[in-house]
């Protein structure tokens, strides 16, 4: 899913996200990066090309007020959002 109306918050990296997003899933011996979103994360991280950037993002305060808020990680290529991974929504 590509979000169009988002605010980019913080430039980040694969390493930073993987160190911060370890989740313990019942039945797994070791924590998993992004938990049940691991497959989506691997797809997003695997699609990164030279010059791309990863940013954390959020949608507008109004979207959160009306229970349609989203936040997560956005893949930016040449100044455009090409992919997102939603990690929080209300």
The domain spans of the chain are 6-89
- What would the two tokens of residue 36 be? 């049940």
* Residue partners of 85: CB distance under 8 A and separation at least 6: 34, 37, 40, 41, 44, 72, 73, 74
**pLDDT for 58:** 97
**pLDDT for 2:** 52
Count of C-beta atoms within a 10 Å radius of residue 40: 18
pTM greater than 0.75: yes
Q: Which residues of the chain have pLDDT under 70?
A: 1-4
- Using an 8 Å Cβ cutoff, are 12 and 54 in contact? yes
Let me know how long the chain is.
Answer: 90
């Amino acid at each position: 899913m590509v979000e169009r109306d988002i605010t980019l918050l913080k430039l980040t990296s694969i390493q930073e996200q993987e160190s911060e997003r370890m989740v313990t899933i019942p039945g797994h011996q070791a924590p998993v990066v992004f938990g049940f979103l691991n497959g989506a994360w691997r797809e997003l991280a695997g699609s990164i090309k030279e010059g791309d950037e990863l940013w954390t993002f959020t949608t507008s305060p109004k979207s959160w007020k009306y229970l349609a808020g989203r936040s997560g990680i956005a893949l930016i290529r040449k100044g455009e959002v090409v992919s997102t991974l939603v990690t929080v929504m209300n």
